[in-house]
Amino acid sequence: MKLFYCDTLMPRKVCAAALYLKAPVDFIYVDLEKGEHVLPAYLTLNPNAKVPVLTRGDKVVWESDAILYELALATGSELLPDSREKQVELVRWFSWNSQHFTRAGGSLYFEYVVRPRFGLGDVDQSAVAEAQRDFRKYARVLNDHLDGRRWLLGDRPSLADFSVGIALPYAKEAHLPLEEFPHMRRWHGRLEELDGWNAPWPARLN
């Protein structure tokens, strides 16, 4: 398997999971500043010109949550729930996260981390205000769900945790009000104990 990534938000979750799973992948860095994501060879893998992408033989998988699923299948990992009920729950958290929670956190990440890194101008304070409002709204949902729970789907980590938690390592830089949500903060502390979570980036070979 080959995992095409860069050191930004969405690739972080799949790199962290790949390292946690000890998945047999070759990591290939895609340099966004050099425009490698819009080169014809890369667009044949992902016509959206986005990272990450996973290839497994002739199979090509893009979108980070789908790649998480593929990595878990490839390694036979318990990160993939084994009951039908929890598999439905996993899809629910994937969907909720992409549409709400990390969408808001990702907007703050864009304003405070991506803009200065790629020279995209000043922080848009109106976008920040809207994203912080939305982040707090959905963080309350997550915080309430985690009251009395160790992990999103039960007593062990799952792909849902790797997906939903991915903006939280950037809480300080992206001005995420993590301190307001104690159950969520404790849950992220447990994520920080997992191999790969705090050191998700492989050694650069290219």
Q: DSSP labels for 10-57?
A: HHHHHHHHHHHHT---EEEE--GGGTGGGSHHHHTT-TT--S-EEEET
The 3-class SS string of 67-104 reads HHHHHHHHHCCCCCCCCHHHHHHHHHHHHHHHHHHHHH
Cα 190 from Cα 186, distance rounded (Å): 7
**Per-residue confidence (pLDDT) for residue 82, from 0 to 100:** 87
Could you tell me the end-to-end alpha-carbon distance of the chain, in angstroms, rounded to an integer? Answer: 17
Q: What 8-state DSSP symbol labels residue 111?
A: I
**Per-residue confidence (pLDDT) for residue 79, from 0 to 100:** 96
**Per-residue confidence (pLDDT) for residue 196, from 0 to 100:** 94
Cα 116 from Cα 109, distance rounded (Å): 11
CATH topology of domain 2-75: Glutaredoxin (3.40.30)
Q: DSSP labels for 167-179?
A: TGGGTTTTT--GG
Cα 11 from Cα 53, distance rounded (Å): 9
Site of tokens 């304003």 = 111
% the chain with pLDDT above 70:
99
Nearest to 173 by CA among 63, 4, 6, 8: 8
The backbone torsions φ and ψ at residue 151, rounded to the nearest 5 degrees and listed phi first, read -135, 165
Query: Dihedral (C-alpha) 12, 14, 15, 20: value to the nearest 10 degrees?
Result: 120
User: What pLDDT, in 10s, does the model give residues 28-76?
Assistant: 999 999 999 999 999 999 999 999 999 999 999 999 999 999 999 999 9
Cα 112 from Cα 106, distance rounded (Å): 10
Q: Quickly count helices (H) and strands (E) in the chain.
A: 9, 4
Using DSSP's 3-state secondary structure scheme, residue 195 falls into coil
- Is the confidence at residue 206, as pLDDT, over 50? no
> Which CATH code fits 84-191?
1.20.1050.10
Using DSSP's 3-state secondary structure scheme, residue 3 falls into strand
**Per-residue confidence (pLDDT) for residue 52, from 0 to 100:** 98
- Is the confidence at residue 185, as pLDDT, over 50? yes
User: What pLDDT, in 10s, does the model give residues 121-143?
Assistant: 999 999 999 999 999 999 999 99
* Spans of all domains in the chain: 2-75, 84-191
pTM of the model: 0.94
